Amino acid sequence: MNRALFLSACVLTMSSACTDSRRAPAPPEHRDAPTGAGKTDAAPIDAGVNDAGLPDAGLADAGIPSPTPDGGAACSAQGLSPTPSPANPPLPPAVDSMRRRIVAAAVACDYAALAALGDEQGKSLRFSFGPDEDVARFWRQAEQERGEPVLARMVKLLSLPYTKQDELYVWPTAFRENATAQDFEALKGIYPDAQLQAMQRDGSYLGLRVGISSTGDWQLAVSGD
């Protein structure tokens, strides 16, 4: 309604109180930050950053996980290089293609894409020794609920030297029989020193290992025994 007509109508009806319904509502009461978000005096994050199509660095600075392609929270691999180091000796094209796509999906924190890669050739990816059937849920829970940097370890392992077991290309070399001190040395920064020393002493690498067949089928990404 035209504002002048609105006010005239108020006078004609002799209303004792006449209020413009278009008045902006009063600001809501202040609410405490969600549990776990922490308190901060920092200025509010400018939502306009996302409008520009750029990632909002302020989210990470505020301790809030950034969104990921499949809607999950940030993961341990976020910020790592999406391109693995060149393999030496070179891998068969099908194996190297799968290796690169695994790394790219992990760095993007895209659990759905990782699950799709594991089922790309219609075979089951071995990711657990338990009854778990949903790899995306399994790794998301490991990352977000148990604090296990599964995806970061996966990315880092796939840039290390590999070993071959029959038709399976396996990372890291510490998984092979008679692994050397150098094999375990390559894993520094991926696992705590004490854990690496214990595995080396026992002569058995029980950390994450990744296996891809010669046809490019991702068959293994499991820890434990």
Express each pLDDT in 125-156 by its tens digit.
Answer: 999 988 888 999 999 999 999 999 999 999 99
Q: Round to whole Å and give the CA distance between 67 and 56.
A: 10
SS3 track for 136-155: HHHHHHHHHCCCCCHHHHHH
Say what the pTM is.
Answer: 0.69
Examine the pLDDT at 72 and tell me if it is beyond 70: no
| CA distances in angstroms from 104 to 24, 114, 155, 167, listed in the order given | 47, 9, 8, 24
| Whole-number pLDDT of residue 123 | 80
Q: Note the pLDDT of residue 40.
A: 37
| Alpha-carbon 112 to chain mean position | 11
Per-residue pLDDT band at 21 (split at 50, 70, 90): very low
* Residue 86 within a domain: no
Predicted confidence (pLDDT) per residue in 164-177, tens digit: 999 999 999 999 99
- Domain range for 148 is 93-222
- What's the number of domains the chain is made of? 1
Asked, for residue 13, whether it belongs to a domain, the answer is: no
- Tell me what the pLDDT averaged over the chain comes to: 78
β-strand partners of 164: 169
Is residue 123 in a domain? yes
Vertex 138, ends 134 and 142: CA angle to 5°?
A: 175
Q: Is residue 190 part of a domain?
A: yes
Q: What's the number of CA atoms in the CB half-sphere (13 Å) around residue 45?
A: 16
Predicted pLDDT at 130: 84
Which contacts (CB < 8 Å, 24+ apart) does range 128-132 have?
128/222, 129/222, 129/224, 129/225
159 or 64, greater pLDDT: 159
In a domain, 8, yes or no: no
* Residue 59 counted as domain residue: no
| In a domain? residue 38 | no
Structure confidence at residue 67 (pLDDT): 43
In a domain? residue 193: yes
